Amino acid sequence: KQEVTQIPAALSVPEGENLVLNCSFTDSAIYNLQWFRQDPGKGLTSLLLIQSSQREQTSGRLNASLDKSSGRSTLYIAASQPGDSATYLCAVLTGANNLFFGTGTRLTVIP
């Protein structure tokens, strides 16, 4: 069974710092990997989707990389802002339409 792990579980940084969130998965047979943010009381917001044939995707201050063979992905956030404070989840899509989520990294950006 696919297992997705995110490290660290929580991260606190001062405003303006660059940071990296890590995601690892045990089965490299994936169709894509998606990064989400989850705000308290709200649903999930899709940030970036990387297809299995791709190595990275960028959107604004966010850059996500994928190394499928080693089962790893990173989400890089540049020049962090207090509004970036949220829980970040990665999820991999495998066969039979299963989307496996990690437990998330809770990010706090201190003004």
Partner 1 sequence: GAGVSQSPSNKVTEKGKDVELRCDPISGHTALYWYRQRLGQGLEFLIYFQGNSAPDKSGLPSDRFSAERTGESVSTLTIQRTQQEDSAVYLCASSLAFIRGQETQYFGPGTRLLVL
Interface with partner 1, residue 41, by CB under 8 A = yes
CB of 52 to partner 1, least distance (A): 6
Query: What does the block give as tokens for 48?
Result: 């970036």
CA distances from residue 9 to 24, 40, 102, 103, 106 in whole angstroms, order as listed: 13, 16, 10, 8, 6
> Among 22, 32, 63, 74, which residue sits at the site for partner 1 (rule: CB under 8 A)?
32
Tokens 């089962």 identify what position?
A: 71
Closest CA to 77 of 64, 90, 62, 56: 62
Of 14-22, 48-56, 58-66, 69-77, which part binds partner 1 (CB under 8 A)?
48-56
Q: Supply the DSSP symbol for 60.
A: T
Interface with partner 1, residue 98, by CB under 8 A = yes
Q: Please report, as ranges, the residues that interact with partner 1 according to CB under 8 A.
A: 4, 31-32, 34, 36, 41-46, 49, 51-53, 89, 91, 93, 96-104
